[in-house]
Every structure is written in structure tokens, then in C-alpha cells.
Amino acid sequence: MERLQKVLAQAGVASRRKSETLIIEGKVKVNGVVVTELGTKVSNSDRVEVEGVQLVKEDYVYYLLYKPRGIISTVDDEKGRKTVLDLFPQVEQRIFPVGRLDYDTSGVIIMTNDGDFSYLMTHPKFGIKKKYIAKVKGIPDREALRKLEKGVDLDDGKTAPAHVKMQTVDKKAGTALIEITIHEGKNRQVRRMFDAIGYPVQKLRRESFGNITTHGLNAGEARELTKHEVKQLRVLAETGKIG
């Protein structure tokens, strides 16, 4: 017996958190009966339906996407904007993005139909590090960068300590390129962190997700992760070390 939200996630319906939302909203039936209780457990013999469609277990797939700017990192958009799914027209599985990148942020994003894997990659307790390169307006001094390193207060709480490194400075343009590594995933976190110290982000790219980078890809291109890469990410989440 497994919890219903875990079964949905393992079947590739959505991430575990999104699966919980589907249950709460009454969109899931077990043996013809709507279930809204998150603690519900089901077995292999139970018939599970999501929005009228019977659950069928899919083979797990894992893709690395170099997300370009101007793309929404969700499976659909109420405003009709282009989403990351539009970049995978040939993929039959119901994949979804692992976490999010802002509309105006480019870089590494993983796509999968494995909800448990997504949970390992995104929950802060597993500490998967994400490295960003931010072009900011103004040139922060050492004290400003130290605030990012220690954590800054945002509307939804204080950020965890970050690793910050000044890369280059353009005194003529009055801008700087700064490398920042975090392991959290608050909404628009990096942009809000720089806003908090008075240096707004003009351009942002996620350089790496754990040990995965976009090396060899152009913006908008994707490739399947190797079995070894997936294993490395799992081990990284579970042990904090590359397997």
C-alpha cells in the first residue's frame, strides 16, 4: 500500500506537491469515488483516475533543457504563453519541470515524469545546489555581498547562507556579473535577494543544477540525462556527495 499522492507522482502525473493539490481539489478518484484526503493509501489493484483518465504507469524519462528566456516553466499557461513543454513535441510521457525558472531567466532545468525524483531535487532538506550568474545594476561592495552570504530577509522568510563570488565589473556601464549558489527554491529568490541589497538583476542564468550544466547545448535545446547522471543526482540528494 502506498499513499495516493506518491502513487500519482510515481506514475508521472505531476510532482508530489502538485499531486497533493489535485487530490485536495477533488480531481482524483479511487475505485470510482472522489478522494480528497491526503493520507489515503491505495494498492496495485485499485483503479485510480485523475480528471477522468485512468492512471497508467509510464517509463521514467529525464531530460536536461537549456531553457531560453521568454518561456514559462510550467506545463500550461493561462495567458497562452509558450511553455517548456512546447520544446518537447516528440515526448509522449507526461513530463513536467523540476522546480521553476522565471520567465526572464535562462539556464539549466530538468524535465521528468518521476515525481519522487523531482521531490529529491527540489526539497530544501536535500540541499541540491543551484549556481546562477547574475548581471546586476550597480557594483556591490564586499559588505553588500556578505549580506547575501549570510542570508537576507525576504517577505517569505530569511534565505539560507549562499556562496557569492564577484566575476567581472564593468565600471563604464555600471554593472557587475556575480556568481551566486543557493540550495533553496523560493519564488524569484535570486532576483529578490539582489533587490534586498539594492542591486537589481538585469539578466539571470542558471549555470548548474547539482553537477548538471548546459555544456554542449544552445538555448532551447535539450538532451536526455544519462542513467549515470540521474544516479549521481540521487546520490547527491541522499548523501551530499557525487556518486
Q: Would you please indicate which residues are annotated as catalytic (active-site) residues?
A: 102
What backbone phi and psi angles, to 5 degrees, belong to 220?
Answer: 95, -10
Which residues face 136 on adjacent strands?
Answer: 176, 201
Grid coordinates of 170: 564593468
66 class by beta-carbon count within 10 Å (0-12 exposed, 13-18 middle, 19+ buried):
buried
Are residues 212 and 110 in contact, defined by beta-carbon separation less than 8 angstroms? yes
Q: Angle at Cα 109 formed by Cα 123 and Cα 234, nearest 5°?
A: 50
